[in-house]
Amino acid sequence: MTQKQILNFIDGQYVATQKHFAKHSPLDHSVIAQVHEAGKAEVDRAVAAARAALDGPWARMTVAERVERLYAVADGINRRFDEFLAAECADTGKPRSIASHIDIPRGAANFKIFADVIKNVPTEFFEMQTPDGRGAINYGYRGPVGVVGVICPWNLPLLLMTWKVGPALACGNTVVVKPSEETPQTAALLGEVMNEAGIPPGVYNVVHGFGPDSAGEFLTTHPHVDAITFTGETRTGEVIMKAAAKGARPVSMEMGGKNAAIVFADSDFDAAIEGTLRSAFVNSGQVCLGTERVYVERPLFERFVAELKRQIEGWKIGLPEDPDTKLGPLVSREHQQKVLSYYQLAAEEGATVVTGGGKPAMAGALADGAWVQPTIWTGLPETARVIKEEIFGPCCHIAPFDTEEEALRLANDNEYGLAAAIWTRDVARAHRVAQRMKVGISWVNSWFLRDLRTPFGGAKHSGIGREGGVHSLEFYTELKNVCIKL
């Protein structure tokens, strides 16, 4: 049987190249597709197509016409839901139960949500006096920032790509998307939906490849890319920021995290356990907002550790299509080796392994997949690398605390600042602690509860800028002033 080919999507057409790379299944490391790598010529062609569409048919559309087409894109994803679901699960290995609930429906919804935002958000209007007494008026006008380079991660490929592409297109921009080399399929498949929905050629383009000396570098250094939005690890973000400095191009960066949860003794115990299970282990811990550090008030500590251990040991590790599967593999064997290196490091640093700490025994060909055990540690000092560095796997360290001030000091003592979860029934404490967390988002008695109208982004090494609602418009548009003398 001919192997599946994943092509670039440029100017409304699928484009093959001579240079390919293999896409391996996370389940058993078998090759499931050949991905056509874009070289400099293909990236140049994609950017040129985006520039032509920006100045051509896309620019001539009214907001209402753009909104109508973006609604059609969302409907097109939902109409082909099973195709997107199969592609996402094949690339990531995640359980279908997760991808069908989160990745695909929310990925589609991003187009409608941001279409509604651009329809309804007002700008400024001011009247002013002039020396001749006739006056003048000033009003704000939002125009697209231009051609936007979109660099996407592999953990939530469709969702986090459309989180950027949705508002970019709603604001009248055109995009060139570089998906992760690990998860190319849904970005490529979306090209078909764009054509079906009547999105003009060149508005949405996809180039496949890697970072250095490949599509990623060619896109981020391209002089005709006007803005760059990125989600991924901090080191890559720093490289992209350096590239964007040439030409003083704006960037929006959502980068790494080493997120903390604080569990007070007065919390709803069952809710705190359920929330921490999800935040530490869902999607095999491959969530930028996930919890890797858990601080539990001392009277609750032993009970919390025991119950978290009991429940996670009941989560089934298995194939995506099994409805009972809670944990799939990691995205690749390369990432598996990274996570396992931290498991080994934790033991070397003196951690008590409460559960996990290695690879699960998988039968047959699955033994070659990127599987790791969900892991809980206790007993490490706060100076340990496992406490300080992002692992991005299904693991967490749990430590006790005695006072609110101590909990805040421990939780904030990290170079990252993306998210936090706070569990308490004390309303005053909830507000007090949440506002003192040095993060972009603090959840109280919840996790991953997202109103897309609210600002999203990180502090410290976790990112620059905010997206979501009107905050996305601040990045994806240039706000201009028009002054009219009366």
Question: Do residues 312 and 372 touch, judged by C-beta distance below 8 A?
Answer: no
Q: Quick one: which of 330, 161, 335, 281 has its CA closest to 231?
A: 161
Q: Phi/psi at 255 (nearest 5 deg)?
A: -120, -145
DSSP string, 188-234: HHHHHHHHHTTPPTTSEEE----STTSHHHHHHT-TT--EEEEES-H
Q: Which of 37, 42, 254, 292 is catalytic?
A: 254
Contact 111, 117 (CB under 8 A): no
Give the Cα separation of 266 and 76 in Å (integer). Answer: 47
CA–CA separation, 74 and 96 (whole Å) = 20
Contact yes or no for 390/258 (Cβ under 8 A): yes
> What's the N-to-C CA distance of the chain in angstroms?
72
254 is a catalytic site residue: yes
Both tokens assigned to 72 = 């059609």
CA atoms within 13 A on the CB side of 273: 16
Residues present in the chain in total: 486
For residue 347, what are its two tokens? 């033991």
Name the nearest CA neighbour of 200 among 164, 173, 228.
Answer: 173
CA–CA separation, 259 and 294 (whole Å): 9
Residue among 368, 350, 351 nearest 359 (CA): 368
Q: Which residues of 196-215 are buried (b: 16+ CB within 10 A; e: fewer)?
A: ebebbbbbbbbbbbebeebb
Q: Are 249 and 226 in contact (CB under 8 A)?
A: yes
Instruction: Give strand pairing partners of 252.
Output: 229
Percent of the chain that is helix, strand, coil (3-state, to 5) = 40, 25, 35
The crossing angle, in degrees rounded to 10, of helices 157-170 and 81-92 is 130
CA distance 329 to 434: 33
Task: At 454, list the tokens.
Answer: 């609210």
**Residue 168 burial (CB count, 10 A):** 28
Catalytic positions, written as ranges: 254
